[in-house]
Amino acid sequence: MNFTEAFDATSDSDLDSTAEHRLMAAVLEEALATFRLGVDSGSPERRKRYFEVSRWFASRDCEWLYSFESICASLGIDSDYMRAGLRKLERATRMKKNLAPSLVPAAAIRRTYRARA
């Protein structure tokens, strides 16, 4: 089951909120697919999109409605946990294919824990 399917079964009576959450889930799904496809791709276009989505995942912006942080907060997903999983996927893929480390530094993706308001 993907994120979008999970929201299909919701019993939330606020249809606008449900539609918004489904859109957010779809944005997150697309970003994850782009990351997975680009992490070891030889295609310049896929690599470009991979680096763009890596920066999106790394961003701490909470003001833009469709920022990674805002989407995670709206969907009840721990953004730091998701980032850790992306780093793990990236490392495993690169080790498996003997690729050079990412040009996006791990420090850009991780951060120290701070309590959320």
Instruction: Summarize pLDDT for 23-67 with one digit per residue, the tens.
Output: 999 999 999 999 999 998 989 999 999 999 999 999 999 999 999
pLDDT in tens, 64-98: 999 999 999 999 999 999 999 999 999 998 788 77
34, 49 Cβ separation under 8 angstroms: yes
Tell me the C-alpha distance between 62 and 21, whole Å.
16
pLDDT in tens, 3-21: 545 445 444 444 457 899 9
